Copies of this chain bind each other. A is one copy, B any other.
């Protein structure tokens, strides 16, 4: 057995946290030879439920689970962490304005960023899942003095996987056959699911579907999939969000396959005209434990306009939390 990986999960007693914890404990992230220690954070009122999650995790007798921490103290949860999944976030309450929501979450993710900088490993990888994910990641990265902003990502992998799934269904193919789908921008309804570079069994996706389906069905279906899940299940996406979070982290650590890329919301670096200061989803390849934004893909006017709109939203989100950024 290799040295155990310390994985922090916030909001660990919630539905996504619950789905994530068992798959991590089962060795689904890096395989059966890499044991994990789960360091789970919850707000104090949820510590009872979190203890129940710990009991169930122990009850599985997982060979790959080397330890459990359950705490309401961020310093303890992030101590020596190799990986942090920031899942817990403040949901929008009745009558809550967007600005209030952003600010309430800022007050969670700022202190968490500080605690990560203070206590986690220096090469920690952080994935923000809790919404508004991009701006929460921005806040956490800003607060994490001494760490590189590139260590803080937000998750658009669920959107990416949803896009693959929709394209597979439309073309009668398997997700295994699909490459180079991209989600651009914000993990919100302004996100831009892009098939312009995508292939299905090696053929250009746009040669297999018509533009009307792409613009009129595919894009809105992916953008609004979260709401459709809530309508069908009566609960928001949980296991699929957990699965996608693991996909993101696995690729970041182990690399992306040759000839493909994944979508990751990372600090904007000027690529595609998006200047620094927001966390923006790009096509990314990973190698040697690091990621690179795929550069210089052609964008048509339709995509340029959509990218500008999602960037505008991210700039507005940033403006609403400017006072929280260091």
- Residues of chain A touching chain B, judged by Cβ–Cβ distance below 8 Å, are 18-19, 21-23, 26, 28, 48-49, 51-53, 55-63, 65-66, 158, 161-162, 164-165, 168-169, 174-176, 178, 225, 228-229, 231-235, 237-240, 242-244
Contact = CB atoms under 8 A, between A and B. Distances in A.
How many copies of this kind of chain does the complex include? 2
A59 B225 contact: yes
Residue of A58, A164, A234 contacting most chain B CB atoms (<10 Å)? A58
A234 B18 CA distance: 13
A87 to B, nearest CB: 16
Given A19-B22, A55-B228, A66-B174, A240 B60 contact: yes
A168 B67 CA distance: 12
A175 B19 contact: no
Nearest to A244: B60
A244 B162 CA distance: 29
28 contacts: A18-B239, A19-B19, A19-B22, A22-B239, A22-B240, A23-B23, A26-B28, A48-B232, A49-B233, A51-B232, A52-B231, A52-B235, A55-B225, A55-B232, A56-B238, A58-B165, A59-B162, A59-B229, A59-B244, A60-B161, A60-B240, A61-B162, A61-B168, A61-B178, A63-B174, A63-B175, A65-B175, A66-B174
B232 A161 contact: no
B243 A26 contact: yes
Where chain A touches its partner, the secondary structure class is helix
Contacts of A65: 175
A16 to B, nearest CB: 11
Contacts of A19: 19, 22, 239
Contacts of A240: 22, 56-57, 59-60
Leading 7 A-B pairs by shortest Cβ distance: A52-B233, A52-B232, A61-B175, A56-B240, A61-B161, A22-B239, A61-B164
Contact of A165 (B49, B59, B229): B59
A89 B63 CA distance: 30
A222 B15 CA distance: 26
B62 A175 contact: yes
Contacts of A56: 229, 233, 237-240
Contacts of A243: 22, 26, 60, 62
A21 B23 CA distance: 12
A66 to B, nearest CB: 7
A229 B55 contact: yes
A176 to B, nearest CB: 5
